[in-house]
Structure 1
Amino acid sequence: MCEDHDIRRRALFVTGAAAALTLGSVSFASGATTPTATQEKKTVRGTFPTGSPDFVYLPLDIPGGVSEIHVAYTYDKPAVPAGTQGNALDIGIFDERGTDLGGRGFRGWSGGARSEFFIRADDATPGYIPGPIREGTWHIALGPYTVAPQGLTYEVAITLTYDEPGETPKPVYPPERAKGRGRAWYRGDCHLHSWYSDGRRTPAEIAALARAAGLDFINTSEHNTHAAHAHWADQAGDDLLILLGEEVTTRNGHVVALGTDPGTFVDWRYRARDNRFGKYAREIRRAGGLVVPAHPHATCIGCNWKFGFGDADVVEVWNGPYTPDDEVSLADWDSMLVASVRSGRAWIPAMGNSDAHRDPDPVGTPQTVVLADDLTREAILDGLRAGRSYVAESKSVSLAFTASGSRGEHAGIGERLPVDPDAPVTVRLEVTGAPGCTVRFVTDQGGLFTSPALPASGSGTAEWRTTASYAAYVRAEVRHAPVVTGLPGPLAAFTNPVFLGR
């Protein structure tokens, strides 16, 4: 049976002020009325014009006795002129508990990564949450991400299976502690994607790559779903701490919920103009996690960060292989440091992550190296929050960055050196694993020191003298040779700042 659900322009004119639209219900009459039936299928077709809402909900009246919901969908992808966006349609589902923002009804999301999914009590497609198929009104969530000028014609096929339900497994989560080295520098990659969203790697493959990259910890960050949380426990070990999170992927930017409590779901169905992000940032913190705007100047649609940084705990300045948008993010972050010292407000530390999805994306390029009291969830998050960290392109690169005063005062990355304004300060960076790179010291006035190129061994030391009245902070960069004449070379590493003065 097929039903048409076209959204006409007149309907959009009436409902266009809302971020979402609900279509007419699809009813299934089997179950109690025809107990001999094992399956029932219905197909819905429709067209989205340009200017469609961000989310369109298709209600499904699910009867009793259903053991599985299977959904498959297709949509047209017409040719469009150069510079014009084509069609892209995301999909997910909410159960009978509803579609309210932040509610309990969420049962899965695959965005545009899959053309079909299923949910049963005992199993579900990666990205979806297994559990009981209860009677009531469920909603398929369709997200017309971009719509071509010709419109977006879609077809959704829903198949219900009637049978005895399976048993829902009890989730098992990774431990919050690994065998650390006490207070030490630990390496991590906190932005990774598996096949539980739009990645192509299994958790086992990612864990193996993380170990090969010299990582001590990772954080799961699937797009708009926490479905992977219960599938990482087998990959944790004494040598690898696995934190749990989500990449909250809105239409106005992405944010990594880093190190949240197991099973935490963070909603993403809002834009900056809706003034809702602060609420969900607080939810991330209540769940024990950090709020980390991701790739804030990325150029992909919906990736550029538009919520401001007032609710951020850390900002992802370096995302994947170093590119011009990372250079813009670095400059933007440095401007935020200047604003913080001028106003006396708290500063926001920086980090870097790989955002690896599939081969050949390298895991651990870059990686954040954090000084933590131990290899535990709490200690790692404390170190990141305090900015006791630097970012390196690989396990080969190590830094030791300090500032010292003439009376024995000493401060490291993320700390403050309490000296008088005109007291002499010596800034020192020790580098290993960066052959041919140069060291650059950057302050609130800009870059004030650049070293000669490091030798072929990749090891060296750079020193610079200043005062707190001349430099409110100093941070270090290690850069490769320039690719374009007149522009700085790609980063090999950079540190969070050391602040100078009382």
Structure 2
Amino acid sequence: MCEDDHGIGRRALFVTGAAAALTLGTVSFASGAFAADGAGQDTRTVRGTLPPGSPDFVYLPVEVPEGVREIRVAYTYDKPSVPAGTPGNALDIGIFDERGTELGGEGFRGWSGGARPEFFVRADDATPGYIPGPVGPGTWYVALGPYTVAPQGLAYEVTVTLAYGDPGETPAPVYPPSRAKGRGRAWYRGDCHLHSWYSDGRRTPAEIAALARAAGLDFINTSEHNTHSSHPHWADQAGDDLLIMLGEEVTTRNGHVVALGTDPGTFVDWRYRARDNRFGRFARRIHRAGGLVVPAHPHATCVGYGWKFGFNDADAVEVWNGPYTPDDEVALAEWDNTLVASVRDGRARWLPAMGNSDAHRDPDAVGTPQTVVLADDLTREAVQEGIRAGRSYVAESKNVSLAFTASGGRGEHAGIGERLRVDRDTPVTVRLRAQGAPRCTIRLVTDQGVLFTSDPLPVSGAGTAEWHTTPAYAAYVRAELRHETAVGPLPGALAAFTNPIFLGGA
């Protein structure tokens, strides 16, 4: 084993696409070298310290000679005590192959963030989060992501081991089908933000699929952090009763976005901030791959979680993420503001809302919440179209069902995500039928705010509310089901909410 020190003094700053990064000195292995013990391995260990204010990404070049079967990387870093309110050390890791680290390039071979202390890549297999394939000769790059750095700095150690021998064969990927049996045009339930052990989750695809079926879901979307490595591992879990779409949670330093329903094998780069003005390029990448752009938990308070890229490129927004919290209440209010802006500016385009579980491990509940979509069939394209059009509502579980409509006096009719096209002074009847929400309160919300609140539903959880208005009084109306409140005048947690019905207009 050889060792080397790579402190901050031995560095070269370079620009890859848009973001400044730090490149350390190269780790070299002798061509065709074998360990002295005859095991066919060679190991190097690198140590260094990153100061506060380090670049977002630090690359450790590794010269890989011919004849390498496997590359294995292990790392550790220190976690000193810090004052309350001060971020401590957190160091992510991944790897790029001999094709390089260019932003949006082809060199990506895997990312585990901070979920694993080591990983391997070879032709026939790889650690979850990484892409199997040949270990070609040339310069590979171990990618370190100093997510947060303590005032004392971040001391790290990286150990790279090369194993020599027969490379083996890379299996051809098999992906889940893009359609399930379906029920024709119907309401389908889905959860589009889920994590397995292919990123920082703890569940297998089989476990997630079983939980999805138990939660009454018709479709799910895979969304591992910054990797598409799970895509070939879902085919065995799909079936006539469960559509499995493929995607990624693109986890940047300025917010996360779910790439929903992309083509199999699509990788979306994440190495940029809002100030780099690069998100539009990767939103287009998602769209070209047949996916939807859905900013996730936009008002979460963890470092790097809050969404700072704006919504011009978004197809929908994740308003409700996991168990309902004050973050979701803020997201709901801010989303409602986007609806007001759309009617104020006379825009036909508006931003639909979604809800997803973001489940990682027990006790996270898959399908809490879930998005219920009116789609023409149970296919990737039909579900995406329903989401994009806002023909959907969000419910806390399979037990909650809504039917929400608006009608005019001459048979005009509109449902969730649609527009009731009547004159501005036409009387409009708004009706919500709810099931599975015992003692919940129905609220109807317009561009003016909450204009109707019902008495609590009976313990059966079923009930109907009716309200009368005009387009002149309410440009849109959406519905909420709220649990009983526990803190004075504050509204209770959501049990469900709908996208709006717009009133009036051409």
Question: What's the TM-score, normalizing by structure 1?
Answer: 0.98
Matched, 1:372 2:375: yes
Task: Give the conservation status (yes or no) of the 8 Å contact 2:11–2:23.
Answer: no
The aligned residue for residue 45 of structure 1 is: 47
Counterpart of 2:414 in 1: which secondary structure? strand
The aligned residue for residue 333 of structure 2 is: 331
Matched, 1:63 2:71: no
Instruction: Tell me by how many angstroms 1:483 deviates.
Output: 2.2
2:413 is matched with which residue: 407, 410, 415?
A: 410
1:493 is matched with which residue: 482, 491, 496?
A: 496
Question: In the alignment, residue 113 of structure 1 is paired with which amino acid?
Answer: A
Task: Give the conservation status (yes or no) of the 8 Å contact 2:185–2:375.
Answer: yes
Question: In the alignment, residue 29 of structure 2 is paired with which amino acid?
Answer: F
Within 5 Å, give how 1:171-186 maps onto structure 2. Answer: 171-186=173-188
Q: CA, structure 1 residues 494+376, in 2 after alignment: closer, same or farther (shift >3 Å)?
A: same
- Give the Cα separation in 1 of the matches to 2:281 and 2:89: 31
Cα deviation, 1:315-366, whole Å, max 9, x if unaligned, reads 0000000000000000000000000011122100000000000000000000
Counterpart of 1:44 in 2: which secondary structure? strand
Counterpart of 1:168 in 2: which secondary structure? coil
Instruction: Tell me by how many angstroms 1:145 deviates.
Output: 0.4
Question: In the alignment, residue 317 of structure 2 is paired with which amino acid?
Answer: V
1:122 is matched with which residue: 121, 124, 130?
A: 124
Cα deviation, 1:397-439, whole Å, max 9, x if unaligned, reads 0000000000000000000000000000000000000000000
Within 5 Å, give how 1:276-291 maps onto structure 2. Answer: 276-291=278-293
Within 5 Å, give how 1:374-389 maps onto structure 2. Answer: 374-389=377-392
The aligned residue for residue 427 of structure 1 is: 430
Counterpart of 1:47 in 2: which secondary structure? strand
Instruction: Tell me by how many angstroms 1:259 deviates.
Output: 0.3
- Give the Cα separation in 2 of the matches to 1:476 and 1:389: 12
- Give the Cα separation in 1 of the matches to 2:119 and 2:310: 35
The aligned residue for residue 20 of structure 1 is: 21
Within 5 Å, give how 1:289-304 maps onto structure 2. Answer: 289-304=291-306
Question: In the alignment, residue 393 of structure 2 is paired with which amino acid?
Answer: Y
Task: Give the conservation status (yes or no) of the 8 Å contact 1:313–1:385.
Answer: yes
Deviates more, 1:224-233 or 1:36-45: 36-45
Counterpart of 2:224 in 1: which secondary structure? coil
Task: Give the conservation status (yes or no) of the 8 Å contact 1:121–1:131.
Answer: yes
- Give the Cα separation in 1 of the matches to 2:428 and 2:392: 21
Question: In the alignment, residue 287 of structure 2 is paired with which amino acid?
Answer: R
Question: In the alignment, residue 403 of structure 2 is paired with which amino acid?
Answer: A
Cα deviation, 1:238-262, whole Å, max 9, x if unaligned, reads 0000000000000000000000000
The aligned residue for residue 161 of structure 1 is: 163
Cα deviation, 1:91-140, whole Å, max 9, x if unaligned, reads 00000000000000000000000000000100000000000110000000
Q: CA, structure 1 residues 452+32, in 2 after alignment: closer, same or farther (shift >3 Å)?
A: same
The aligned residue for residue 442 of structure 1 is: 445
- Give the Cα separation in 2 of the matches to 1:240 and 1:56: 41
The aligned residue for residue 254 of structure 2 is: 252
Instruction: Tell me by how many angstroms 1:31 deviates.
Output: 1.1
The aligned residue for residue 195 of structure 2 is: 193
Matched, 1:151 2:156: no
Moved over 4 A (4+): 10-15, 32-37
Question: In the alignment, residue 103 of structure 2 is paired with which amino acid?
Answer: L
Task: Give the conservation status (yes or no) of the 8 Å contact 1:32–1:64.
Answer: no
- Give the Cα separation in 2 of the matches to 1:280 and 1:452: 47
Instruction: Tell me by how many angstroms 1:30 deviates.
Output: 3.8
The aligned residue for residue 309 of structure 1 is: 311
- Give unpaired runs (5+ residues) of structure 1: none
Counterpart of 2:187 in 1: which secondary structure? strand
- Give the Cα separation in 2 of the matches to 1:483 and 1:380: 36
Instruction: Tell me by how many angstroms 1:484 deviates.
Output: 1.3
- Give the Cα separation in 2 of the matches to 1:251 and 1:32: 39
Task: Give the conservation status (yes or no) of the 8 Å contact 1:89–1:143.
Answer: yes
2:90 is matched with which residue: 83, 88, 102?
A: 88
Counterpart of 2:286 in 1: which secondary structure? helix
Cα deviation, 1:154-190, whole Å, max 9, x if unaligned, reads 0000000001011000000000010100000000000
- Give the Cα separation in 2 of the matches to 1:70 and 1:33: 15
Q: CA, structure 1 residues 424+14, in 2 after alignment: closer, same or farther (shift >3 Å)?
A: closer
2:115 is matched with which residue: 113, 129, 139?
A: 113
Q: How many residues align?
A: 501
Counterpart of 1:227 in 2: which secondary structure? coil
Task: Give the conservation status (yes or no) of the 8 Å contact 2:181–2:378.
Answer: yes
- Give the Cα separation in 2 of the matches to 1:74 and 1:321: 33
Instruction: Tell me by how many angstroms 1:279 deviates.
Output: 0.5
Instruction: Tell me by how many angstroms 1:19 deviates.
Output: 2.5
Task: Give the conservation status (yes or no) of the 8 Å contact 1:93–1:139.
Answer: yes
The aligned residue for residue 351 of structure 2 is: 348
